[in-house]
A and B are shown apart, each in its own frame.
Chain A
Amino acid sequence: MYRYDQYDQQIVDERVAQYRDQTQRFLAGDISEEEFLPLRLQNGLYVQRLAPMLRIAVPYGLLSSNQLRKLAHISRKYDKGYVHFTTRQNIQLNWPQLEEVPDILAELASVEMHAIQTSGNCIRNTTTDQYAGVAIDEIEDPRPWCEIIRQWSTLHPEFAFLPRKFKIAVCGSEQDRAAFLLHDIGIQLVTNDQGETGFQVFVGGGLGRTPVIASLIRDFLPKQHLLTYLDAILRIYNRYGNRDNKYKARIKILVKAWTPEVFAERVEAEWAHLKGGPATLTEQEIDRVKGFFTLPDYQAVDNDSASTELQRLASDNKAFSRWLDRNTKPQKQAGYRSVSLSLKPAGVAPGDVTDRQLEVIADLADQFSFGELRSTHNQNIVLTDVLVTELYELWTAAKAAGLATPNIGTINDMICCPGGDYCSLANAKSIPVAEAIQRKFDDLDYVYDLGDLELNISGCMNACGHHHIGHIGILGVDKKGEEWYQIQIGGSASKNAALAKVLGPSLSRDAVTDSIEKLLDVYVENRQEEETFLATYQRIGIDKFKERVYGATA
């Protein structure tokens, strides 16, 4: 993984010093609330319903075991002994003290971490595929490009006060696992006929109140031009994005208003001035950054005997076999698999982990995955590069720590925002809905039979829980001061991204799980062969689902 040199370290250290001084001046009354707001946001600090919330950046989801131990320590010393993994691969502390945030940031800096630009109207953490470097369908490892973008975006002098937040995701594979078409900029790595690396550039995706799938504005951007082209997009957005109405301030609104064609022309015109300028990437820099993402020392494994042995263990042990099935995935290196540690056992807020679990995960990473791990946009943890011969041992250890719930990709692996339990913007609670669903669908054979199913829950239309792109989406709404829920179906975050459609009038919390069950019944009755819920919906349409939930006349 990327390691800081003296420059990176100095920038992060000086950022801590700057924010410490700002916090002191704020507490002394020398900075007003209004002026302090963007300063604290750009250092990750929100003020929430119950307490401040600190969002820590996990650049493109990559963490070392050491960093995880530091996070465990921080959560114990400054918080309540747990952290929350977000849908943008970051980590949140729910109960830090404003006064102590500079100390937390200093602790983070000591392990090459920070909270720079994790909120506020600026360029946020760049996200990517949790299987970067090992994915079978990979075109090129996206992480060096994410790191190059991280450095370019960190304290960018021109773009610290954008009209609204700005999120970039990079997809390096055939299949998308980063929801990159739902980002302000989505970058797809491609190779041209000459075998050269470049990028397809999409802009104007996003969720929130107005969900939009990004539009392609450049089919092939040669790799050395990445940063000048990004500068051009951001400059156009910074200058022309709407600043009067925050609900119309995201780049997606500008792209829609101008049309993607016109937007693309404006970017090209701006880029003509920047193209080939000093920010043009050099081979040397690209190689320098790529040098940090080398492959670990894989052992040669006798794949056949290893899989025979695995099959033997699996046939003896149903629980292991289920976990193997759902929570592990082949990777391009023979003899190794990637393992998902589920952060969604029933009864725990999706994405929450305790300090002790963080330490266990750090130990597991050291023992089984070369000391590295990844956070995922589905709010789980992935250990890559696990020898197949060590899977059983890893499973045993993960299970003991409550990290081996075999539900990855199932209905119980839901994405869920903090909702009304924590968030002051919420219309309704979301965590109890997630829990009710997990409790209702606790029959594993049934859940496995349902197959891959993405269920996403947001407590309000800000859509932090990605309800628009769930195969089933649940949205908290306010109905005369009461908490109600709207159900949507048919969304998808894949390359064929689709936005879910509203099923019908909103429901009370009691009715949610039963209605989900009805949707699943319709699916099971109508599916053909191996069809997923989404595929069945796409084939038969919304009506049958609607009728089952609301009755024929609704």
Chain B
Amino acid sequence: MAQLLKDTQIIDDQWIRVPADAEVFPAGDILVHYNDWQTHQDELNQHQGAVGVWFDGNEEIEAFAESLVSLPLIAINFPKFVDGRGFSAARLLRERYGFKGELRAVGQIIRDQLFLLQRCGFNAFQFEDNIDLDQAVKSLTDFSDSYQVAVDQPQPLFKRR
């Protein structure tokens, strides 16, 4: 079973990520692409097991974010690690739409982005490559404080110093 970082712990991934344009869905807890979730609503409502949704960070999430807030898991995919759109999408989901479930960064993320990703509201991180998670977890705490407002710290440093 694949492993990932969640809330600073290394855990086994209980979710099965279904590639986009799926016709059939496996049993168990599944993470389906937003379009598939839309097209197969009825079927997925009957699904035995939990259903989460994933999409790329470039989506116009305003169009559908509200319909996702009660899900247990949303995953934002980074097609390239230098594509920073997922950072904005995560903050919007957390700060504007009040999403409280697991927000997972998936795709081509790298360890050295962990600190910034968690600031933007991600609390779970799944790497494509098989990296040493025991080492990687350290990057979550690269900095002990930050100037800006973000999901992890809703007050700017200037109000706290």
Q: Which residues of A contact B (CB under 8 A)?
A: 5, 7, 10-11, 14-15, 17-18, 22, 31, 35, 38-39, 121, 151-152, 154-163, 227, 235, 238-239, 243, 273, 277-279, 281-282, 285, 288
Most A C-beta atoms less than 10 A away, residue of B145, B146, B149? B149
Q: Measured between alpha carbons, how far is A305 from B1 in the docked complex, in Å? A: 86
| Cβ contact within 8 Å between A155 and B112 | no
A14 & B144 in contact (Cβ 8 Å cutoff): yes
B85 adjacent to chain A (CB < 8 Å): yes
A273 to B88, CA, bound (A): 14
The 7 A-B pairs of least Cβ separation, nearest first, read A161-B84, A157-B119, A285-B158, A157-B116, A151-B147, A279-B149, A158-B87
Q: Which of B39-62 contact A (CB under 8 A)?
A: 58
CA distance A161 to B82 in the complex (A): 6
| The one of A158, A160, A279 that contacts B156, using a Cβ cutoff of 8 Å | A279
User: Are B157 and A7 in contact (CB-based, < 8 A)?
Assistant: yes
Task: Please indicate the chain A residues that have their CB under 8 angstroms from the CB of B150 in the complex.
Answer: 157-158
Which residues of chain B (78-111) have a CB below 8 Å from chain A?
81-85, 87-89, 91, 96, 110
Interchain CB contact (< 8 A) of A278 among B115, B144, B154: B154
Q: B88, B89, B142, B148 — which one has the most chain A CB atoms within 10 A of its CB? A: B148
The CA of A285 and the CA of B112, in the complex, are separated in Å by: 31
Among A15, A31, A35, A162: residue with most chain B CB under 10 A: A35
Closest to B84 in A: A161
Chain B min CB distance to A231 (Å) = 8
Bound Cα distance A38, B113 (Å): 11
User: Would you call A239 and B145 a contact (CB within 8 A)?
Assistant: no
The CA-CA distance from A121 to B113 in the complex, in Å, is 14
25 A-B contacts (beta carbon < 8 Å): A7-B145, A7-B161, A11-B146, A14-B143, A31-B112, A35-B112, A121-B84, A151-B147, A151-B158, A155-B116, A156-B147, A156-B148, A157-B87, A157-B115, A157-B116, A161-B84, A238-B87, A239-B88, A239-B89, A278-B149, A278-B159, A279-B149, A279-B156, A282-B158, A282-B159
**Majority SS at the chain B contact face:** loop
Partner pick for B144 among A10, A151, A158, CB 8 A cutoff: A10
The yes or no answer to B14 lying at the interface (CB within 8 A) is no
Q: Is the CB of A162 within 8 A of B147?
A: no
The answer on a CB contact under 8 Å between A155 and B143 is yes
- How far, in Å, is B160 (CB) from chain A's closest CB? 9
Give Cα A551–Cα B112 distance, bound, in whole angstroms.
59
Closest chain A CB from B148 CB (angstroms): 6
Closest CB of chain A to B58's CB: distance in Å? Answer: 8
Q: Determine whether the beta carbon of A273 is less than 8 Å from that of B145.
A: no
Q: Give min CB distance, B81 to chain A, whole Å.
A: 7
CB distance from A22 to the nearest CB of B (A): 6
Q: Is the CB of A39 within 8 A of B112?
A: yes
Q: How far is the CB of B93 from chain A (nearest CB, A)?
A: 13
Give chain B residues whose Cβ lies under 8 Å from the Cβ of A156.
Answer: 147-148
A10 proximity list for chain B (CB < 8 A): 144-145
Contact check, A155 vs B146: say whether CB atoms are below 8 A apart.
yes
B116: A residues at CB distance < 8 A: 155, 157-158, 160
> Cα distance A467–B96 when bound, in Å?
44
Q: Which of B112, B144, B145, B157 has the most CB of A within 10 A?
A: B112
Query: B156 contacts A278, CB within 8 Å?
Result: yes
B155 at the interface (CB under 8 A from A): yes
B73 at the interface (CB under 8 A from A): no
CB-CB < 8 A to A157: which residues of B?
87, 115-116, 119-120, 146, 148, 150
